Amino acid sequence: MTRALSYRDFSIGLALLGVTAFFAVVEPKFVDSRNLSLLMTELSITATLAMGMLLVILPGHIDLSVGSGLALLSGIATVLTARAGLPSPVALGIAFAAGLLVWWAKGWLIVRERIPAFIVTLAGLLMFRGLFWLVIQNQTIPVVPGGQTNLYSLLSTWYLPPPLGWAFAALIIAALGFCAWRGRASARAAGFAVPDAETSFLRFFIGAQAVLLFVIITSQFRGVPLPALIFGAVACAVWVLTRHTAFGRHLYAIGGNPEAAFVSGVPVRRVVVGAFALMGGIVAVTGFMLTSYTGNSTPDLGEWMELDAVAACVIGGVSLRGGRGSVIGVIFGALIMAVLLNGMTLMSVTPEHKLVVRGLVLLGAVWLDVRMNRA
């Protein structure tokens, strides 16, 4: 049994191509090797956070506190490193553990006390931002004082050399091919609909070309940046979790029909709490990457990033009602958001106009999602 391609399979790619072409024509610096390498780093930060948002949206929830949360967790790590003098691995570990614990507690409130996720995370947005300002005392704190180097600063200064980058690309392409073959075989054995051979090869070919293009772009500057490797590891883990584990199948089942999932024996509460806990870990990692990229913790760190994460998911085909979405789609959605922000920055677009554009993009993506659900 095969499944034909739909308009949704091409719309994201066409939108990305159109946005990229526009900025390449309007602002020639957009295609500069240095800017494209920085774009890959910015994409890695946005897409990593969107991976966590995917885990929360699939069972039908949302998290509005991730922007303030990543600021708080990275601020804790920065203060512990720069002012308390703790070794950076210890400081990062403490902040990461705090992220897991706090987001686990938020998930517990949502499922045990039946408080809507919108309210719990909206309260978190306010509390985390206030706590963050208290932690950094409304000051700008550098990642490391005096220009020193530690694990924290390496997140933005370490690059994988081009020869190793090509080896990395070869491994990724081989893994893509194996996963495509294994996925088709497993789906066919289970009696599920699978794309025809030509469609499967086209998807593999496009994925392989994207990997090669990524390595070509980054190799022209310094190499593959460390944040991109971290994002790759997170995306791979989320893909395996959502597509090849019972936990992932439960996420889709809960988002599709919570009552039916509960009657079928799915541990709904445990799965939702687990999704939020994983979100907390990803929020912490994203905060470390963003703070390292900017070089310091500032009072406005992470503002509106929850908007970018949600927009990346919705643009990538994730249903806000839950039950539908994929890692590949979210990556394309995050790439569209990263290209928009990078291009507008090069064009010296004012912050207020950037917010208008981001809001319009989010509104348009949600409108399209609603229309596609009605179809």
Q: Does the pLDDT at position 259 exceed 50?
A: yes
Q: pLDDT-based confidence at 13, cuts 50/70/90?
A: confident
Residue 105's pLDDT band (cuts 50, 70, 90): very high
- 180: exposed, middle or buried (C-beta count within 10 Å: 0-12, 13-18, 19+)? middle
Q: Give the whole-number percent of the chain exceeding pLDDT 90.
A: 39
Q: Which residues pair with 224 in a beta bridge?
A: 160
Cα R_g (the chain), whole angstroms: 20
Does residue 2 have a pLDDT over 50? no
Q: What share of the chain is helix, strand, coil (3-state, %, to 5)?
A: 75, 5, 20
Identify the residue with better confidence: 54 or 363: 54
Pairing of strands 194-195, 224-225: unpaired
Q: Which of 211-215, 229-233, 280-284, 325-329 has the lowest mean pLDDT?
A: 211-215
Query: What is the band of 116 on the pLDDT scale with cuts at 50, 70, 90?
Result: very high
- Reported as a single tens digit per residue, the pLDDT across 82-100 is 888 888 889 999 999 999 9
DSSP SS3 for 225: strand
- Nearest to 245, CA basis, from 271, 264, 269: 271
Q: What's the pLDDT band for 5 if we cut at 50, 70, 90? A: very low
Cβ–Cβ under 8 Å, residues 365 and 314: yes
Instruction: Report the candidate in 19, 54, 117 with the shortest Cα–Cα distance to residue 343.
Output: 19
The beta strands (E) that lie in 233-315 are given as 296-297
Q: Using one digit for the tens of pLDDT, what is the confidence trace for 207-220?
A: 788 788 888 888 88
**Is the CB of residue 61 less than 8 Å from the CB of residue 117?**
yes
Mean pLDDT of the chain, nearest integer = 86
Average pLDDT of span 154-159: 73
Q: How far apart are CA 312 and CA 310, in angstroms?
A: 5
Burial (CB count within 10 angstroms: exposed 0-12, middle 13-18, buried 19+), residue 133: middle
Please tell me the pTM assigned to this model: 0.89
- Highest-confidence segment of 84-98, 121-135, 154-168, 259-273: 121-135
First to last CA, the chain: 23
Confidence band (pLDDT; 50, 70, 90) for 244?
A: confident
Distance (Å) of CA 267 to CA 108, 237, 277, 326: 13, 21, 15, 22
